[in-house]
Amino acid sequence: MRTPFTGVGTALITPFTKGGGALDEVAVKRLARRQIDAGVHFLVPCGTTGESPTLTHREKLRVVELVVEEAAGKVPVMAGAGGYDTREAIELSRDMEKVGANGLLHVSPYYNKPTQEGQFQHFKAIADSTPLPIMLYSIQGRTGVNIDAATVLRLAEIPNIIGIKEASGSLVQMTDIVATAPENFLLLSGDDPITVPVMAIGGRGVISVASNEVPAEMVQLVELCEKGDFAAARKLQGWLLPLLTGNFVESNPAPCKAAMAAMGLCEDEVRLPLVSITPASRERVMSVLQKLKLLGAAARV
């Protein structure tokens, strides 16, 4: 039986207007509606795929407010509220609750590289500050620190820390967490290309970049895994693999936004220090879209 924040959660891009780079509020709602219509199970605005480090506090709240309005209770909304300043993360978490978020995604603090005890105290302080369910996010390649399995297990004892988006790259670590955490503690893949193996070891879904482009296909992939049809899931993931890996040919979300612009879904606009992808990378992205017959696909959804 599905519980909240299992299945496919889309790590929504944040659309900006052409040239000026202002928040495109119309596109925020349009993209959220496209996800809901495609059957995605929950939405994750203002994560790092949403370029959260370049959004102001007010912009983050506005994006979540718009997504909550569009979701209208049909699917839950898990708002990205992470950062490297615990006090600021607490303030943002409380404000996300006020604008209607149903849950929070908190990435491990980046740059300041806290110890495991520092990470535990950081997440505990946030959990103590809000009644909302919290999903941890471990991605050492972007933050410089791993949330070790032992730390995850300590945090799993806190009632409103409900799970972890796992992008450590270690299936051994993920298996350890699934095997030893409380039964209701969720582990989701944080890396599209390994969704199938993560679900095979007991993961409950994925927080996905690729579902920005192909929401229905990612839903189908995860639901096949949920049914235990891993042969069909492997076949579908093999077909999608060029897209799943192509989204990271340069720093996320620039390749994804380039693809979505080519599909007619948004402008190809990112905020500095990110820049649009190079011509060589764009050629690769376009080749993938052509191979998967995704050009013009937006009009069919």
Catalytic residues: 137, 165
Residue 174: what residue type?
M
Q: At residue 136, what are phi and psi to the nearest 5 degrees?
A: -70, 160
Structure tokens, 102:
């149903």
Burial class of 259 by CB neighbour count within 10 A (0 to 12, 13 to 18, 19+): buried
Q: Select from 195, 126, 180, 182 the least CA-distant residue to 148.
A: 180
Q: What is the DSSP string of 170-181?
A: -HHHHHHHHHHS
- Mapped onto helix, strand or coil, the DSSP state of residue 210 is helix
